[in-house]
Structure 1
Amino acid sequence: MTARERLALALDVPDRAAAMALVERFASDFGVMKVGLELFTAEGPALVRDIVAAGNRVFLDIKLHDIPNTVEQAARRAGELGVWLLTLHTQGGPDMLAAGARGLREGAASARRGAAAEGSGAGGAGPNADAPIALGVTVLTSDADAPPEVLKERALLAQRAGCGGLVCAAPDLPAVSAAAPGLLRVVPGIRPAGAAQADQRRVATPAAAIAAGADVLVIGRAVTAAPDPDAAAAAIVAEVTAELGAS
């Protein structure tokens, strides 16, 4: 994976106009665009479709946590939208996680069949041609005290339930990687050296996170709130590229 493929930009903005402006501005640096609760609540599925149609992979970070049937149906709709990554909270338990992972896969498959039937090509070709991945959220990065045994338990739970990846803080990577090897590791709380931590408690620099085993880094305010966002993005890309070359 290139540096761009390893970087997800958090579109933590209130509306479509601001989100699409970020997508257009930073698509050459960030291969994944993350839509979180604020933006999804404001703009809904239509925005996700627009970002996918613009040629971007989408990480829908809404941390589904409900009864299994509700989560399965919500995940199915996410799969139909063409998202690449979808978060499910591991606190929901094995049945809920399995239902969410199943719904995501089936929704994506249904969308591909529908696109093929309409004669619009392979259905799912392009940035989201890969199978979608359900991510089990272990412990939020705002939680300063995450016992290793809880991390390991939740990582293993996600793996056994059929999730293809995990969301965890960089300091948690050794514990979750040992408990559930082979899963995609998505890491928020990334802060370049000298950047403010804000409400994140367990953070790491881009290079340190890559060195610890992160697959995808989630970057938000470190770029979008920087005095010079373009320079901040370029510096992060350079840092990740250098770390990948050294590893």
Structure 2
Amino acid sequence: MEREPIIALDFPTWKETERFLQTFSNESLYVKVGMELYLQNGPAVIEKLKEMNHRIFLDLKLHDIPNTVQQAMKGLANLGVDMINVHAAGGQKMMAAAREGLEQGTSGKRPLLLAVTQLTSTSEEQMHSEQLIPVSLEESVLHYAKLTKAAGCDGVVCSVYEAAAISEACGIDFLKVTPGIRLKEDDANDQKRVADPAGAKSLGSSMIVVGRSITKASEPLEAYQKVKQQWGENNYAK
């Protein structure tokens, strides 16, 4: 499994993104393109990042009726990204349709398909009061993880605190991609369930996504190297 942290390119424009990436001296990175960057700049962003030899996690969190998601994934597969996701709340049929769409639209290797369980900005209290889900946050995440595996997806997006339980329920090879990663000295901002890179490693994350600890750092390359060192260049999926 990938040993590099995934950098969240949460910028509104390609110009800002390009300026940030220039810091890394043509190093091949694993980057996350979310709604902010993709929806304001379009597929050209993906093409430019691929030209720079970066691997791409396209984080659009699709959630719609199965046919719509299937057709959307069929089109997105043509972009040649490495990983993409949907919301597990869309249900098993929708997630299976997402995989089918990716397979229909991919001529070579299919992108990895993840499903978001509960956002790392969501607290258990918020889940109870706003989603009306009465079980514990971990139970909700595990339920979604099991549905995701049954649908034929490759893994989930979850917090580090559910990673071990998901491995036990779904197997070690089932991916646990964990956002909400911060260096210890950094602010958690709008995230609730956060951890540092070393903590994520010890708790069983397969891959980590790091945003502001790198993108907002005064020295982004130095911050990236610090995250990478803590995550461990010899880390393997657990």
TM tier relative to shorter chain? 0.7 to 0.9
TM-score (norm. length: structure 2) = 0.88
Partner of 1:164: 154
Aligned to 1:148: 138
For the 8 Å contact 1:9–1:30, the answer to whether it is kept is no
The TM-score, its normalising length taken from structure 1, stands at 0.85
**Alignment length, in residue pairs?**
225
Q: What are the equivalent positions in structure 2 for 1:101-116 lying under 5 Å apart?
A: 101-109=99-107, 112=108
Aligned residue number for residue 186 of structure 1: 177
Corresponding position of 1:66? 64
Q: Using a 3 Å threshold, how does the CA distance of structure 1 residues 73 and 2 change in structure 2: closer, same or farther?
A: closer
Deviation at 1:108, TM superposition (A): 1.7
In 1, are the aligned partners of 2:2 and 2:207 still within 8 Å (CA)? no
Letter of the 1:189 counterpart? G
Please list the CA deviations of residues 134-153 of structure 1 after superposition, one character each: whole Å capped at 9, or x if unmatched.
10110000012162211111
Residues 29, 234 of structure 1: 8 Å contact kept:
no
Of the structure 1 ranges 27-36 and 226-235, higher mean CA displacement relative to structure 2 is found in: 27-36
Q: Which residue of 1 aligns with 2:77?
A: 79
From the superposition, tell whether residues 177 and 76 of structure 1 become closer, same or farther in structure 2 (CA, over 3 Å): same
Deviation readout 1:155-178 (Å, 9 max, x if unpaired): 000001011111000111122222
Q: 1:131 aligns with which of 104, 110, 123?
A: 110
Task: Flag the 1:46–1:180 CA change in 2: closer, same or farther, 3 A.
Answer: same
For the structure 1 residues 227 and 54, does the alpha-carbon distance in structure 2 shift closer, same or farther, using more than 3 Å as the test?
A: closer
Asked if the contact 1:136/1:163 (under 8 Å) is kept, the reply is yes
CA drift of 1:28 comes to 6.4
Q: How does 1:1-247 map to 2 (within 5 A)?
A: 1=1, 3-4=3-4, 7-26=5-24, 31-109=29-107, 112=108, 130-145=109-124, 147-181=137-171, 182-241=173-232, 244=235
In 1: Cα distance, 2:78 partner to 2:185 partner: 40
Alpha-carbon distance in 1 for matches of 2:27, 2:200: 18
Deviation at 1:190, TM superposition (A): 0.2
Tell me how large the CA RMSD over aligned residues is: 2.0
User: What amino acid sits opposite 2:123 in the alignment?
Assistant: A
Q: Distance in 2 between matches of 1:215 and 1:225?
A: 24
Please state how far the C-alpha of 1:54 moved relative to its aligned partner. 2.0
Point out 4+ residue stretches in structure 1 off by more than 6 angstroms: 27-30
Cα deviations by residue, 1:70-120 (Å, 9 ceiling, x for unpaired): 1011111221100111111000001110011111122122xx4xxxxxxxx
Identity %: 36
